Amino acid sequence: MSKELLAGLREYASTDLGSKIIRNIIENNGTVNFIEVFLPSDGFGAVDLSSSDIEITYTSNLQGWKNSRKDFHQGNQVNTATIGSLLAHEFGHTNAGRNVLNFPAIKSINYVNGKMEINPNASKWEEVRTVKYFENAYREQKGMPLRTHYVNTDIMKFKEL
């Protein structure tokens, strides 16, 4: 784990929601694999490996990650992002995050006759919910500007599923 990631985790753990989510993982005997990506543009992501185990991909090159997102709507707050706020977002996509806020999992992938179909509205709601309730909670507690957008979607106007 890089020193940049460790510093970001420390910031995340200092917030109310972050500490609850980390405690939830520990109490469920969960594990978190942190994998540093080769290209900064490939950071940040999260996937549940099981009901308690998580994999989080990240980059220590925050500026490189920001440069790869230059043309995003200003409401995405790319310029103000920190590794802490990005981790807050990614943990929001996990079982531990959902457990702490009692959120149901959002099913965005269905298999129809063996063919994978993605429900774009469901995957968008997953992102909007994560920005609204996880990333913005971190930003608010840290006195950072809140995100109003996920890519081009206004998170206040998006009708939740």
Chain residues binding Zn ion by CB under 5 A are 127
Nearer to Zn ion, 2 or 123 (CB): 123
State in angstroms the smallest separation of the CB of 14 from Zn ion: 22
- Which token pair is 71? 């043309």
State in angstroms the smallest separation of the CB of 114 from Zn ion: 27
Output the CA angle 38-43-48, nearest 5 degrees. Answer: 110
Instruction: Report how far apart, in Å, the C-alpha atoms of 35 and of each of 63, 106, 127 are.
Output: 18, 24, 21
Q: Which residue matches tokens 């909007």? A: 128
State in angstroms the smallest separation of the CB of 93 from Zn ion: 6
State in angstroms the smallest separation of the CB of 77 from Zn ion: 14
Nearer to Zn ion, 26 or 35 (CB): 35
Cβ neighbors of 13 (< 8 A, separation 6 or more) are 19, 22
Nearer to Zn ion, 26 or 79 (CB): 79
State in angstroms the smallest separation of the CB of 89 from Zn ion: 6
Q: Distance between CA 109 and CA 103 in Å, rounded?
A: 18
Nearer to Zn ion, 112 or 160 (CB): 160
Q: Distance between CA 80 and CA 135 in Å, rounded?
A: 12
Q: Are 110 and 122 in contact (CB under 8 A)?
A: no
Nearer to Zn ion, 53 or 127 (CB): 127
